[in-house]
Structure 1
Amino acid sequence: MNSPVEIPYKSFIVIDRKSEATIYMQITNQLINAIHRGFLPFGTKLPGTRTLSKILNVHRNTMIAAYDELLAQGWIESYPNKGTFVIGKNTQNNSEIESFNQENLTHYPKKTGFHFKISNILDNPFEYSNCEFIFNDGIPDIRLAQIDQHSKIYTSTLKRRTHKLKHYNHDGSEFFKENLSQYLNLSRGLPITTHNLLITRSTEMSMYIVSEILLSEGDTVVVGELSYFSVNMIFQNKGVKIITIPVDKEGIDVDALKNLCKKQKIRVLYITPHHHYPTTVTLTAQRRLELLNLANEYGFIILEDDYDYEFNYDKSPILPLASADTHGMVIYIGSFGKSLAPGFRTGFIVAPENVMIEMRKYLGIIDRQGDILMEHVLGEMIAEGEINRYLKKSLKVYKERRNHFTRLFEDSLGEFVEFEIPSGGLAIWIEWKVPINLLKLSKKCNENNLFIPKTLLYQTKDHTAMRLGFGSLNFNEIEKSIDIFSKNSKLIL
């Protein structure tokens, strides 16, 4: 390009007069972008400010300000009686320069220029829909959250003296950990201190940290025949061998596990004993003791995930295996504030001090900043008894929803399905007594405004079942959802 005015500046400098960014900075940044991408090669002579201001239809003073900024940043230099030039040596040949077009300059690259590892294991298993009614795998109803109360505590934390906030390190607020350790001691029988507690953002983050420390490629991990798909993805990504064992009305089959231990070395047993995911059954007290004895005898780690310990309706919850662990064989993972508004929830890990030291190293890498204000708010909610008061109110609502859901389900589909009313949790495990295509049922329901994700469907040679959450639906939504579900089920049976 022999003349600077031959360059089509209007093709790559687009001015948005509604933008909060000043016009001269918009021009500056887009000229820098053009230099970066090679459309304005090093050594290119730029038009004078008067000429370019006419091309772009801006005031000359705007162009002067843009050139001054480019000069200050070191992108251009001016020579008396010669003009203004892009600084540097041209390292591109003419064919490369000519290949640039407007799309190169106004769009971010669609693909990388390098190769990288692609994981099919970690593909997002979750689906989304615009249907009015949605079944999920058992999540709380955020509409029940007392957001105003939560916000007041958060605001007061910001306003009051912050002497408690200074006690902070990369693995969480000490104030929150002190209150949470006491809360877990009282509610779950875990005789722990803050040295046994790691605060994370979620159960998935907890699982990731634990798998990084405890598992190596080729290790054997045992899970239930039906297990939590998200955690299985973390294990698979680690390159371990996953073996499944049966789950019955009393939880995982301990005899099958013992026979397996006699044949090969097991590194980790992953269980959700309080309410097995997805079947919701509770591991019996006898099997819990047998599991602890097996872990001590064969040396495998019990990774206990108590994802919904807070939700119990008919009786006191059975204490976690970790509460009876005297040999340090259990790593306990849980969540806190699951019934609170999004953002007011957190995950945690309970473990012996020596492994906790290693876990803090990993947390310091992936989440060093943490959220000290939110953790302090949660600590205040524990200290003031707000958590217990809120949980008591929400449990009453969820119990009523469970009863309403199961009653309607029995009335409409009782001859075709069987289920046990769960003593806790926010979902029900439905098993079909007659052959039915669950994918076809899901599709038909979706056409009628009820979305059922594939992750809720369990159809194998041994199972035709579904995990249906009721917690996020009010009475009216439950009635309409079950009506759609029942009608479409009968159409394809």
Structure 2
Amino acid sequence: MTPFKSLLQVDKSSSTPVFLQISEQLGQLIRAGTLVAGQRLPGTRQLADLLKLNRQTIVAAYDEGMAQGWLASRAGSGTYVAAHFPEIKPQPLASTEATESGTGLAGTQPGYSFESLPYLIRPALTQSAGLHLDDGFPDIRLAPMDELSRAYRSYFRWGNPQTHFGYGDTKGHLLLREQLSVHLNETRGLRTNPDNILITRGSIMGLHLTSQVLLRSGDVVVTGKTTWAGATMNFQKTGATTRTVPVDAHGLDVDALALLCEHNGPVRLVSVTPHHHYPTTVTLRADRRTKLLQLAERYGFVILEDDYDYDFHYLSRPILPLASADQQGMVVYVGSLTKSVAPAFRIGYVVAPTALIDELARLRRIIDRQGDPMLEFAIGQLFKNGELKRHFRKSLRTYHARRDRICELLTTELRDAIHYDKPDGGMAVWARFDPAIDLGVLANQAVQEGLSFSNGLLHNPPGQRLNSTRLGFASSTEDELERSISIMKKLINR
């Protein structure tokens, strides 16, 4: 006899109705193999007496079990465990160690094999709650949250709800593409229309889609020796071969690129961050920009231009993107608003000839179908009413002052320990530490003092130790920058 009285426990203080508690517990007993297929259950009156419950509660529990498919009723005979369940043999309780390392959805390893790609193993950057000199993040305290909230609310009052909350254009919300086209044309000298723009969830998605469409196994991609690992990972995932050329005080060495194209076979794509090279922040010199475009036309390679922080330049004379001078359609221009507003707002974009944008949108459809229409509409509204332009101007003044302050502190407090070139724009300083300082140890010690910054390992080219890192200043107030440099100075002089 199955001891139903001890197996079924009822909690009358629970918010879950009693009949559902019984039905769920019966299902658990069947899944565990305690109750087997075809087993007869007690009659409703008998089980009600055992559990001291109203018979109608048991009737409701059995009805729910039948609705879920666990139970079956036989006319004139009673209620049974459904016959279509396979026999389940209860297993003894496994040890904690076996459970953690075992297979199954709750274990660590699946019952099938797959290839784990080592180049994908890379820590995700996050913003800490304490003091931080990060990779170059914006200060989310400056973001136009109230204005964005109002724009969100207007979304629910605007347009036809049936189309407004249904599937949208895979290229992104038309309002945002229209407004972004105007913004890019005005500020970057581009000549776009909305059909030249694909809205993505951050620039990394744009890089991924572009890599998947343009690259095939064996294609050659050229980057700087120091570069952004996020882009390189996407190139590697396509099976492409990556080659590097030096980066100096004037950006990517275009002469070295020309020699590579001439003597080492065809190049499919060249990845650059010309406005502020990542991670060193140097700007690609004008003559090199011209030569790079000429090389693209001569050798037929794609220029993938990642312009991640164009909105923040401090000399009032920004150099226009490569895309603005592209006459032959050789440039794919990728940008993002996450660095301009806040990382949580996953708005990026790809600008290219319409034939490529159409293909990217077709690929995006099987990955994400579409972006976030509500967020895209809200950001489009902020462009349209001028709020984002006001935010950019306010942030530019603030970040300019913070850049000047951190550079002053590095000069006065850490002159002998850190060498740097004052960046013309962007949101971080490329700090080159004295070789006597172990940057990894220093970063670990700083965490104990409430300060976080990167140990720079991600920026090291293979086989090299740069002992350098990015010290982001934009997300910290001047007071926070002073306290951060004070901690660093104390640890270095310890």
Output the TM-score relative to the length of structure 1.
Answer: 0.89
Q: Determine the C-alpha separation between the residues in 1 that align with 2:172 and 2:444.
A: 44
Deviation at 1:452, TM superposition (A): 2.1
- In the alignment, what sits opposite 1:64? 59
Which range moved further: 411-420 or 35-44?
35-44
- Tell me which residue corresponds to 1:145: 143
Alignment of 1:233-382 (within 5 A): 233-262=233-262, 263-336=264-337, 338-382=339-383
Root mean square deviation, CA, Å? 2.9
Contact 2:433–2:439 at 8 Å: present in 1 too? no
Paired residues for 1:146-185 under 5 Å:
146-162=144-160, 168-185=168-185
Q: Secondary structure at the match of 1:45?
A: coil
1:109 aligns with 2:124: no
Kindly tell me the number of residue pairs found equivalent between the two proteins.
Answer: 481
CA contact (8 A) 2:175 2:380 kept: yes
1:180-223: per-residue Cα shift (whole Å, max 9, x none)? 11111111111011121101011111111111111112221111
Name the residue aligned to 2:91.
99
Cα pair distance change 1:202/1:51, threshold 3 Å: farther
Separation in structure 2 between the aligned mates of residue 176 and residue 230 of structure 1, nearest angstrom: 26
Question: Are residue 197 (structure 1) and residue 200 (structure 2) matched?
Answer: no
CA contact (8 A) 1:131 1:449 kept: no
Asked whether 1:412 is paired with 2:431, we answer no
Matched residue type, 1:113 = G
What is the CA–CA distance in structure 2 between the aligned matches of 1:319 and 1:16, rounded to whole Å?
70
3-state SS of the aligned residue for 2:83?
coil
Letter of the structure 1 residue corresponding to residue 310 of structure 2: Y
For residues 333-379 of structure 1, give each alpha carbon's deviation from its aligned partner in whole angstroms, at most 9, with x where no partner exists.
Answer: 00136332455441000111111221111111122142222211111
Contact 1:431 1:466 in 2 (8 A): yes
- Offset at residue 51 of structure 1 (A): 5.6
Matches of 1:246 and 1:17, distance apart in 2? 70
Letter in 1 for 2:366: I
C-alpha separation between the residues in 2 aligned to 1:132 and 1:199?
33
Q: Is the contact made by 2:217 and 2:240 (CA closer than 8 Å) also made in structure 1?
A: yes
Compute the displacement of 1:171 (Å): 2.0
Q: Secondary structure at 2:275's aligned position in 1?
A: coil
Against the structure 1 CA distance between its residues 489 and 194, is the aligned structure 2 distance closer, same or farther, given a 3 Å change threshold? same
Identity of aligned residues (%): 39
Equivalent-residue separation in structure 2 for 1:390 and 1:324 (angstroms) = 28
Gaps of 5+ in 1: none
1:136 aligned residue:
134
Change (3 A) 1:8 1:303: farther
Residue 192 of structure 2: SS of its match in structure 1? coil
Contact 2:406 / 2:481 at 8 angstroms: preserved in 1?
Answer: yes
Name the SS for the 2:222 alignment partner: strand
Partner of 1:472: 475
Change (3 A) 1:211 1:31: farther
* Residues 1:32 and 2:36 aligned together: no
Measure, in 1, the Cα distance between the counterparts of 2:493 and 2:340. 35
Aligned residues of 1:38 and 1:100 also touching (Cα < 8 A): no
Cα deviations across residues 148-187 of structure 1 (Å, max 9, x unaligned)?
1211122123224459959942221112211111111111
Aligned to 1:155, what secondary structure does the other structure show?
helix
Letter in 2 for 1:76: L
Contact 2:418 2:433 in 1 (8 A): yes
What code does the residue aligned with 1:287 have? R
Q: Answer yes or no: is the 8 Å Cα contact 2:456–2:468 preserved in 1.
A: no
Change (3 A) 1:34 1:347: farther
Q: Contact conserved, 2:173 with 2:376, CA < 8 A, in 1?
A: yes
1:205-247, Cα deviation, whole Å (9 max, x unpaired): 1111111111112221111111111222222222221111110
The answer to whether the aligner puts 1:122 opposite 2:123 as a matched pair is no
Moved more, 48-57 or 400-409: 48-57
CA positional deviation for 1:486: 1.4
Distance in 1 of aligned mates of 2:294 and 2:3: 83
Cα gap change, 1:25 to 1:123, in 2 (>3 Å): farther
From the superposition, tell whether residues 45 and 467 of structure 1 become closer, same or farther in structure 2 (CA, over 3 Å): same
Change (3 A) 1:44 1:128: farther
1:112 offset after TM fit, Å?
2.9
CA distance in 2 between partners of 1:91 and 1:457 (Å): 52
For residues 53 and 242 of structure 1, the distance between their equivalents in structure 2, rounded to whole angstroms, comes to 72
**Which segments of 5 or more consecutive residues in structure 2 lack a partner in the other structure?**
none
1:197 aligned partner, one-letter code: I
1:251 maps to amino acid: G
Instruction: Classify the secondary structure of the residue corresponding to 1:360.
Output: helix
* Pair 1:62–1:341, CA change in 2 (3 A): farther
Q: Secondary structure at the match of 2:115?
A: coil
On the 8 A contact 1:4/1:44 being kept in 2, the answer is: no
Shift in alpha-carbon separation, 1:88–1:394, aligned structure 2, 3 A? same
In structure 2, distance between residues paired with 1:124 and 1:24: 49
Give the whole-Å Cα distance in 2 for the aligned partners of 1:117 and 1:17: 50
State how far apart, in whole Å, the 2-side matches of 1:280 and 1:449 are.
26
> What is the CA distance between 1:23 and its match in structure 2?
4.5
* Distance (Å, rounded) in 2 between the aligned partners of 1:113 and 1:78: 37
Q: Is the 8 A contact 2:139 2:474 kept in 1?
A: yes
Shift of 1:277: 0.3
Q: Counterparts of 1:134 and 1:356 in 2: how far apart (Å)?
A: 38
The 1:448/1:91 distance shift into structure 2, 3 A limit, reads same
Partner of 1:334, secondary structure, is strand
Distance 1:437 1:473, change over 3 A: same
